[in-house]
Structure 1
Amino acid sequence: MKIKKFAAIDIGSNAIRLLFMNVFEKGRNTYFKKSSLIRVPIRLGTDTFIDKFISPVKAEKLVKSMKAFSNLMEVHEVVSYRACATSAMREAANGAEIIERIQKEANIKIDIINGKEEASIIFDNKIADKLDPNKDYLYVDVGGGSTEITLFSKGICTFSASFNVGTIKILKNCVPPGEFIRIKECLLDICPNCEDIEIIGSGGNINRLVKLSAPKKEKYLSYKELNAIFYDLKKYSQEELMINYDMNPDRADVIIPAATIFLSVMEWSKAERIHVPKIGVTDGIVHQLYKEYKTNKSLID
């Protein structure tokens, strides 16, 4: 059995992540097994969404992190990698300049992707293969700077859009006027004919909310359960959340904004349940990389 290792880098608004994934085939099946995940909470969005510019301090931290990621990928002997940057780098006036510096100093090429491409990468997790073909699902990925919403109707992707609402933007009061109304109107438009629609949630915050609500249950929450944990967490300050719920500082201040977005989407779509399969942008990147690897290999062979 030949095992190939791939790497995916997600430069988000709240944190940057490096995922190593082992991929191997057995018979007709292909298996994707996570090897390790490194997360660094640089929080680029704090600069971008307020000043539209990434500060020299944050830029230096990002460059140093990318150098470390480059060394780790070399040690892990990855077959290939892809690095993607989302809304924080997308909206920063000096984003292209920093990317050029990273290419020069860390030898890592970074693609700035828009919201629709981000949703497409997430779709490459083969989510549709695991869904009930007779049901309707909304895939909702909540990030620091944007929220991606994709509708699967009877197993087919029928709608995908990116909205300028994220946890850091809520935290810093940077959500554009009318953006929540835009989400509401969109959901009221695309969901009226969907019966018993359910949500598939993505992102570190919804994973944590599931653990907080019921650590030993299956990976889903009802609207009632999510609403209950939301109102419970609202009682505490950031410091109290860190102490009482063992949260890191960069999780404790965005967990409430994240819950707000998920609850709003559930309310407007009339969804009663949210599934949390622990998937995201980095997983989708690896699936794309493996598809490209297989295609290129077959051409060579």
Structure 2
Amino acid sequence: MLSIKKYAAIDIGSNAVRLLIATITEPQEQAPIFKKTSLVRVPIRLGEDVFLKGKVSESNKKRMRDTMQAFALLMKSHKVLKYKACATSAMRDAENGQELAQNIKAETGIDIEIIDGEHEAAMIATTDLRNLIQNDKNYLYVDVGGGSTELSFFTEGEKLASKSFKIGTVRLLNDRVEESLWNEMKLWIQNVTKRYTKISLIGSGGNINNIFKSSGKKIGKPLSYFYLSSYYQMLTSLTYEERIVKLNQNADRADVIIPATKIYLSTMKWSRARKVYVPKIGLADGIIKYMYNEEQQQTIF
């Protein structure tokens, strides 16, 4: 008998908050099929509050409560069986992060888990990322968010090392990243990758997805370092308003895309990677797979 159910993932990032609803179809004696049913993105930009003032502002606390209430209603309408809400860098750093999570739980019923960078990277690794990784090649996985960058290095099909750095697009926009942190990330990448050749980047995050879409490349084909560098030069030659009008970018994308591209270019340079693959994966996808895998293990035991 065919089993069909819906799971939902809420990703509370430093730049935006997302609700992903996925339909999971389980044919008999076949691998499950995951299909994105709905994706809602709200650019609350919690990081702008937290990285400048140390806490989420009253106005953004209200926006968060309203958004979580809306997400709860959407999940009810979609008849979602199971959900998980994860908050990352901004909520981790906010002095009122736990308090806000408790208030949202009381007012909306949404239970928010504030996760660390290592947990975030582990959940993303449960996605279709594995389908890209070949045993005879080496990969530096780079996920760029508003508050942090998660790095994982894969060799011979296995993860060798991973680390989270507080270098994110919203932090950079607000001048909240010390030069010493850039140097720390550079040394980590160089030390981890120095003994290896044939290194490619795997990039995730809304900004690299936006760049990939604008490139016109077919899914599965990589972007070159040269293309990314040229695109960065084009971005920096345009004003914020021109990036919105000429490149048809959202207002909350047109500013963060420059620091994001700088991060990807830097990690490519330090790892000696000449190309970057851009699968459409992220934390929300990872949360869905994480919940499904967790349920399967509970069924087995």
* TM-score exceeds 0.5: yes
Counterpart residue number, 2:18: 17
TM-superposed deviation, 1:275: 0.2
1:233-252 correspondence runs (5 A) = 233-252=235-254
> What letter matches 2:228 in structure 1?
L
- Aligned 8 A contact 1:213 1:226 in 2: no
| Paired residues of 1:17 and 1:39 also in contact (CA < 8 A) | yes
Distance 1:20 1:219 in 2: 27
Deviations 1:240-296 (A, max 9, x none): 100001111100001110000000000000000100001000101000111122233
Contact in 2 for aligned 1:164/1:176 (Cα 8 Å): no
Alignment deviations for residues 164-209 of structure 1 (CA, whole Å, 9 cap, x no partner)? 1000111110013411101110011000111110011000100111
Counterparts in 2 of 1:1-301, with a 5 A limit?
Answer: 1-26=2-27, 27-214=29-216, 218-298=220-300
Task: Measure the CA separation in 2 of the matches of 1:207 and 1:105.
Answer: 34
CA contact (8 A) 2:24 2:34 kept: yes
Alpha-carbon offset, residue 128 of structure 1 = 2.4
The superposition leaves residues 197-233 of structure 1 with CA deviations (integer Å, 9 ceiling, x where unpaired) of: 0011000100111122335575420000100111011
**What SS does the aligned partner of 1:193 have?**
coil
Contact 2:220 2:279 in 1 (8 A): no
Q: Distance in 2 between matches of 1:260 and 1:214?
A: 21
User: 1:297 Cα deviation (Å)?
Assistant: 3.8
- For 1:146, the aligned partner's letter is S
**Aligned AA (1:261):** I
Q: Deviations over 1:48-70 (max 9, x none)?
A: 00000110000100000000101
Task: Name the CA distance, whole Å, in 2 between partners of 1:14 and 1:262.
Answer: 17
Question: TM-score by structure 2 length?
Answer: 0.96
Q: Which amino acid aligns with 2:183?
A: I
Contact 1:66 1:106 in 2 (8 A): yes
Is the contact made by 1:12 and 1:85 (CA closer than 8 Å) also made in structure 2?
yes
Q: Displacement of 1:4 after TM fit?
A: 1.1
Q: Report if aligned partners of 2:8, 2:83 keep a CA contact under 8 Å in 1.
A: yes
SS in structure 1 opposite 2:177? Answer: coil
SS at the partner of 1:81?
strand
- 1:128·1:156 contact (CA, 8 Å) conserved in 2? no
Identity of aligned residues (%): 44
Distance 1:196 1:291 in 2: 31
The answer (yes or no) to whether the contact 1:6–1:20 under 8 Å persists in 2 is yes
Separation (CA, whole Å) in 2 of partners of 1:38 and 1:105: 21
The answer to whether the 8 A contact 2:129-2:279 is kept is no
Distance 1:67 1:217 in 2: 35
Partner of 1:82, secondary structure, is strand
Give 3-state SS (helix, strand or coil) of 1:4's partner. strand
Conserved 8 A contact 2:129-2:281: no
Further displaced range: 47-56 or 170-179: 170-179
Unmatched tracts of structure 2, length 5 or more: none
Distance 1:50 1:267, change over 3 A: same
- What CA distance in whole angstroms lies between the structure 1 residues aligned with 2:83 and 2:183? 38
CA 1:224–1:217 in structure 2 vs 1: closer, same or farther (change >3 Å)?
farther
Aligned partners of 1:258, 1:88: CA distance in 2, in Å? 17
- Cα RMSD, aligned residues only: 1.3
